[in-house]
């Protein structure tokens, strides 16, 4: 098993929290966990993003939170499993997991991230 090198505690969302990779139209994934230094998300696609991302948008499905243009860099990307949906869609979709490390957040972004962690995450 891979050693977890994260610096901070990661939290899991209470509800439906998502992240959208800026510059990779169509790559929206469910946030698997998030902390002060980054997040991991899972998404379905027939191929991984063609380019790396430098910003991510974070939001919840009920519309009560949105944080845009969060600076980040991709740490890892891996295929989780394969689903055979070709009878329905004509494609074999893969489930991917991406780890993102946050870059230099602005002061207001730190405040929004802290609020997001406090109000939309399970407390362990």
Residue 3 binned pLDDT confidence (cut-offs 50, 70, 90):
very low
Residue 56 binned pLDDT confidence (cut-offs 50, 70, 90):
very high
What 8-state DSSP symbol labels residue 15?
S
Percentage above 90 pLDDT, the chain = 44
- Residue 87 pLDDT greater than 50, yes or no: no
- Residue 5 pLDDT greater than 70, yes or no: no
- What confidence score (pLDDT) does residue 10 get? 84
- Predicted model pTM: 0.82
């Amino acid at each position: 098993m891979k050693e977890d090198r994260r610096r901070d505690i990661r939290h899991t969302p209470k509800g439906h929290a998502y992240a959208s990779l800026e510059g990779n139209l169509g790559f929206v994934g469910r946030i698997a966990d998030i902390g002060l230094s980054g997040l991991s998300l899972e998404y379905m696609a027939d191929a991984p993003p063609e380019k790396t991302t430098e910003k991510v948008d974070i939001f919840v499905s009920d519309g009560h939170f949105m944080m845009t243009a969060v600076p980040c860099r991709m740490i890892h990307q891996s295929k989780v499993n394969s689903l055979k949906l070709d009878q329905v869609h004509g494609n074999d979709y893969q489930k991917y997991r991406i780890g993102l490390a946050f870059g230099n957040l602005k002061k207001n972004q730190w405040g929004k991230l802290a609020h997001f962690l406090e109000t939309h995450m399970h407390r362990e």
